[in-house]
Amino acid sequence: MAANFERRTQIFSLLVVTIPVVARAQALPVRNLHVSLDEPVYTSLPVWIKADLGHPYEARYPYREDPSDFGPNEIELKRGSETISSGGIEPVSVTVQHDLVYVVNAGGTPNISGFRIEPGPKILAPLSGSTQNLPGGAAAAPAEVAFNSDGNVLLVTEKGTSLIDTFIVDDDGVALPGVSFPSNGATPFGFAFGHNNVAVVSDAAGGPSGTSALSSYEVDEDGNPEVITPALGDTQKAACWVVVTRNGRFAYTSNTGSNTISSYTISEEGDLALMNVTAANGNIPLDMALTRNGRFLYARNAGNSAVTGFRVEANGSLTPVTSAAGLPAGAAGIAAR
C-alpha cells in the first residue's frame, strides 16, 4: 500500500496530492510521501495522512495503493531514496503536526511511533523514546491517530476494544505512555477535531440496535476526553469517516452500510445536534474530504467507483455539484484541496 504525493492543481484528486507541511517557520513542500502495508494485495484497511497546512487549515489524506513498490511496514518521506521502518507492523494511520510525524501500527502489538522531519534533505528520523504500545493491546484494531488542535495530545481510536487512547506529547515531541478511556459509543472509528480541541468521533455501532452515531468530546491539555454529546444516533448503518467544516459549525459522517451521508450541527461548546439523516446519498460512501476553504465536500463511493462532489451551503446543507466515474479497481481514499 503506497501513495505518491505530487504537485497538482485539481480541486480534488485521488491518491496524488501535495501536502505543504509546516515545519517550524519554514513551509516544506513534501513530495513522494509513501506509506506501505505488509499485505501483498489491496486492502480495505484505512490509511490516513493528516497534514497541518498552516493555521487555520487542516486536511486529511486517506489513501491506498498497490504496495508492491515498497517493502513491508515502511513509511517513506522522500526527496532522495531513504526508507525507514514505521516502528511497528502494519501502519494504518499517520498524522503530521509541523515537523512531527506519528504513525499508528495495527499489527502485532499495536503501537504509535514518532518521527521528525529533518531539515535539509527532508527525511524522516525516528524520534527516540516515542514508541508507545496501545493500551488495548493486540485486540485494539486501531482506526486513526491524530493530533489535537493544539498539537500537544495524540488521540487514537480502537475499533476492537471500543477505547479512545490519548498520549501527551512533551516539549521534545515525544509521546508519553498512553491512557485509555471507554468510548461513549460502540466501535469508535474515524474522527476529526473542530474548534477548541473538540473531537467529533464516529461510532460505527454506537446507536440503537447497532446503528451509526456521532459523539463529541472536549480533550483537555492532560489528554482527558470529557463527553460533551454522548453517542447521538442517525438511524443509519456503519458510520465510518468524519469531517468537520473549517468554521467548526458542521460535521458530516459517511454511513457506508446505508449509502448516505448524515449532517450534524456543532455548537460553540461542542454540542452535537442531528441536522439531516440523509444530507446526501451515495453508493457505499467510504472516504470523504473537505476542500481547504470548507466550501466543497467530496466522497468516494466504493459501490460504483465514482467520486461525488457537494457544495457546502451556509446553512450546512449539501448541494450536488459534480460526479466523476471510472476510478480504477482497488482505488481507495480521497483528498481535497
Q: Is residue 68 predicted with pLDDT exceeding 70?
A: no
Query: Could you give the percent of the chain with pLDDT greater than 70?
Result: 74
Structural domain contains residue 158: no
Question: At residue 64, does pLDDT exceed 80?
Answer: no
pLDDT tens track for 240-267: 889 999 999 999 999 999 999 999 999 9
Q: Is residue 258 part of a domain?
A: yes
State mean pLDDT over 140-146. 94
Mapped onto helix, strand or coil, the DSSP state of residue 197 is helix
Domain boundary among 77, 108, 137: 137
Both 36 and 97 in one domain: the answer is yes
Judge whether 146 lies within some domain.
Answer: no
pLDDT, the chain, mean: 78
Whether the bond between 91 and the residue before it is cis, its omega within 30 degrees of 0, is: no
Residue 89 has pLDDT above 60, yes or no: yes
Q: How many residues does the chain have?
A: 337
Q: Which residue has the cell 460505527?
A: 204
Domain co-membership, 122 together with 238: no
Are 205 and 69 in a shared domain? no
Contacts of 199 (CB under 8 A, 6+ apart): 148, 155, 191, 192, 193, 216, 217, 218, 219, 225
pLDDT recorded at residue 82: 55
Residues 128 and 194 occupy one common structural domain: no
Q: What is the mean pLDDT of residues 303-329?
A: 93
Q: Last residue of a domain, which of 137, 172, 198?
A: 137
pLDDT at 35 over 60: no
pLDDT tens readout for residues 174-214: 999 999 999 999 999 999 999 999 999 999 998 888 999 99
Q: What is the pLDDT of residues 121-132, one digit of tens each?
A: 667 889 999 999
Q: Does some domain include residue 167?
A: no
The answer to the question of residue 149 being in a domain is no
Query: Quick one: how far is CA 134 from the chain centroid?
Result: 18
Q: Do 228 and 326 have their domain in common?
A: yes
Using 50, 70 and 90 to split pLDDT, how confident is the model at 73? low
Q: Which of 137, 163, 195 is the last residue of a domain?
A: 137
Same domain (yes/no): 187, 336: yes
Q: Which domain holds residue 319?
A: 183-337
The model's pTM is 0.75
Model pLDDT, residue 121 = 65
CA distance 308 to 98: 31
- The Cα–Cα gap between 132 and 125 comes to 17
- The answer to whether residues 248 and 336 belong to one domain is yes
Whether residue 188 sits in one domain with residue 250: yes
Whether 162 is in a domain gets the answer no
Indicate if 190 and 322 belong to the same structural domain: yes
pLDDT at 16 over 80: no
Q: What Rg, from alpha-carbon coordinates, does the chain have? A: 18
The answer as to whether 155 is a domain residue is no
> Domain of 277: which CATH number?
2.130.10.10
**Claim to verify: residue 200 and residue 132 sit in the same structural domain:** no
Sequence-distant (≥ 6) Cβ neighbours of residue 139 within 8 angstroms: 160, 161
Residues 6 or more apart in contact with residue 71 via CB below 8 angstroms: 36, 83
**157 pLDDT more than 80:** yes
Residue 131 lies in a domain: yes
Domains of the chain: total: 2
SS3 97: strand
Q: Does one domain contain both 330 and 191?
A: yes
Category of 324 on φ-ψ map: left (φ > 0), alpha (ψ -120 to 50) or beta: beta
Mean pLDDT of 300-316: 94
Say whether both 193 and 311 belong to one domain.
Answer: yes
pLDDT band at 117; cut points 50, 70, 90: confident
Range from 54-58, 78-82, 154-158 carrying the lowest mean pLDDT:
54-58
